[in-house]
Structures are given as structure tokens and as C-alpha cells.
Amino acid sequence: LISFISTSGTTGRPKAVMQTHGNYVLTGEGYMNWVDLKRGERIYCCLPLFHINSQAYTVMGAIAARASVVLVERFSASRFWSDMVHHRVNVFNYIGSMLAILLKRDPAPEERSHSVRLTYGGPAPLGNQRQEIERRFGLTLISGIGMSETTFGLMERVHGEHRPGSLGKPRQHPDPRIVNEARVVDDSGCDVPPGEVGELLFRSPVMMKGYYRDPEQTAASIREGWLYTGDLVRQDEDGFFYYVDRKKDIIRVRGENVSSSEVEQVLALHPAVQEAAVIGVPSELTEDDVATFVVRRSDVDEAELIEWCRGRLADFKAPKYVWFVDDLPKTETQRVEKHHLRKRAAELMSESPDPLAKGLFARE
């Protein structure tokens, strides 16, 4: 073993993933190839060093390529581009809302006078956001998905086809004998046809040994050699994958599945929204209602945001409840802790069952 990597813990108690020296070496060699990292280039790292991204991608990738790592304490939107210029950065990895936050800041000279050629991360930008990011910041953006349990995951190719919203295809090691496979299955474990949503599974030599002192969870996650990720995706006819949501975060509204991620992305497109997190809350009628916690960038009211969503989504996907907050609870790796939001929503709804009270708004 080389490390015990803590899972994000966004849905509850985190688990300790057991990773090996071999997996890290293979990932570093793969990352060098995936981002076309060259000897002497510089990778910017603003993520915690206990995160799998920092360890397996950034550090091991730099070692494999004989590149350098620029380490900073944390992500700072205000100093981000000045850091890029000062340290002559060539590549950086993004997670969560980092790019969306940078995109909503006022333009600055440094964001076009840097030497950054590429950024990699997830989630994939929505709609024309990719073109806007690449045009404004003068770099190439590629999206993908990885996890502590398996570092290979999915990824767009630097010089390959980029499809809007796609996470690419299973990324491979330069050695063709090391194969990374992916499937999309239904609840019974059967493969679903292209275009249908199902759970993402991986099988490769680069997988965790298991969860530390948790054989039950390990057995539930790895079945017949396949890692069940808990992520819902769909695959198109050409083998490109598209993220839908975490399986635990799907909201059931009047018999329909609503992706919290889809609603969050639509809210994030509003110019007055800094970021948003969407959850399901108990409905008085049946199943769930859609609710959101929003951090505002400028003045906007609840009704405007609800109408914004209704104009871009099916009506049942639009939030019924909106709360404005100063910030969202996050882990050290910038993932929103939705279990805290669900507790807070329950408190707000118990304090004020009337949705028009205490800053809560319900559409008619």
C-alpha cells in the first residue's frame, strides 16, 4: 500500500480507500500521456495534498514527465491568474465550480497573459460554456471523471473529438496490455442500450484494494471484478459518456427522475448566481420536491430564478423552494456536502411550513 485516501464524504461518513504503489505509477504514466505533459512544464496544484487528484495525477504525472509542480495552499479566485503568470504555469486541474467562479469574475489582464495551455477536470461545462472558457482564457479544456477507487476513469483526448457535455471515453495507459473498461448498467446489473441512463461501472488493473477495515462496503462496491461507482451516466452510439448525477442525489418528482446536477448547471448559467446546490425535500403530495440553496453574485429574487429554470427545463424539474445563503458547506476538495444541506432544509421546513415565510419561495 502507498496510501489511505479518504472519500469525499459528501453523502455521509467518508471511507478510507487503500491504494497501491503500482496504481500510482500507472496513473502517473497515464496522466503524462492524457494531458500531453512535457519535460520541464509546470503543473499548478491548488487542491489539498491528501486528495487523489493531487497525489496520483499532479505529483505522479509530474514525476513521470519530469515536470514541476507549483503548490499553493488553496484555490483563490482573486489571485488565480496572477499565480499563473508569476509561476509560468502550463497545466492545471480543476474540480467542482472552480471554472464557473473564474468565469463570473470581472476580466483581468492576467487571464490572457499567462502560459497555460490546458486545464483538465470535471464536471464537463454546460452548453457553450466550454467555448466561452477557452475563448476568454486562451486555453484548451478537457473534461473527465476519476475517483479515489479507480484513477483511470473517463477522459476526453487532448487532440481528439470533444462533444458538448461529454466526459469522453475510458482513458487508457500507453501500454496497450493495460486495459480500462467501462459499462452502463441498470439496477439488476444488465447493460443498458445507448442513450439510456444507468450506473457507471469500471474494470481495470488500476483499482483500489478495497476500503480499509470495511469488507462489507468493499464487497458491495466491487462485484465480479467491476467497480460500481454510484454515478449515473449515459453513453451515446459512439461510446462517449455523459454524466447525469450521483445515484443518491437523484430526485423523484411525480414519478420522474430529476438530476440535481442538471438543475444546478442551469442555475449556474444565471448571471446573478455564484453557485447553487440542489437537493430533494419531502413533498406534501408524494415523493420529493426540488429545492435549492443559492449563493448570489448580485441581486436576484426567488421568483426570477424559478422562472429562469422553468424556461430552460421541464416544468417539474424547476425548484419549488429557494434559499439564499452566504456560502455552501464544502469538503476540503470543494465538493458540496449535501447531507448538511438536507439537514438544514429539514430544519427550515419544520420552523416554517409556510413556503413563503423566512425567505423561502414556492411557485404556484
12, 97, 92: which is closest to 53 by C-alpha? 92
pLDDT higher than 70, residue 360: no
Q: Which CATH superfamily is domain 3-246 in?
A: ANL, N-terminal domain (3.40.50.12780)
CATH 3.30.300.30 positions along the chain are: 250-351
Mean model confidence pLDDT for the chain: 92
Percent of the chain surpassing pLDDT 70 = 95
pLDDT at residue 284, as a whole number: 78
| % of the chain at pLDDT higher than 90 | 81
pLDDT digits (tens, 9 = 90+) for 14-45: 799 999 999 999 999 999 999 999 999 999 99
pLDDT, position 142: 96
Alpha-carbon gap, residue 108 to 268, rounded angstroms: 21
Q: How far apart are CA 125 and CA 239, in angstroms?
A: 19
3-state secondary structure of 330: strand
Question: What's the farthest any 2 CA atoms get from each other in the chain?
Answer: 61
| For residues 313-331, average pLDDT | 94
pLDDT of 159 reads: 87
Cα separation, 327 vs 274, in Å, equals 9
Amino acid type, 121: G
What CA–CA distance (Å, rounded) separates 345 from 337? 13
* In the chain, ranges of CATH 3.40.50.12780 domains: 3-246
Q: What integer pLDDT is reported at residue 353 of this predicted model?
A: 57
Does residue 362 have a pLDDT over 50? no
- pLDDT, residue 352, reads 66
Average pLDDT value for residue range 343-363: 66
**What does the pLDDT look like over 280-301, one tens digit per residue?**
999 877 689 999 999 999 999 9
SS (H, E, C) 261-327: HHHHHHHHCCCCEEEEEEEEEECCCCCEEEEEEEEECCCCCHHHHHHHHHCCCCHHHCCCEEEECCC
Residue 105, pLDDT above cutoff 70: yes
Just give the CATH number of 250-351.
3.30.300.30
Least confident of 32-41, 56-65, 242-251: 242-251
- Across the range 305-314, mean pLDDT stands at 96
C-alpha closest to that of 247 among 235, 236, 237, 257: 257
Stretch 240-265: mean pLDDT:
92
Q: pLDDT tens-digit profile of 185-211?
A: 999 999 999 999 999 999 999 999 999
Looking at residue 11, what is its pLDDT? 54
Q: Is the peptide bond before 48 cis (omega within 30 degrees of 0)?
A: no
Residues 6+ apart with CB under 8 A from 86: none
Predicted confidence at residue 10, as pLDDT, reads 55
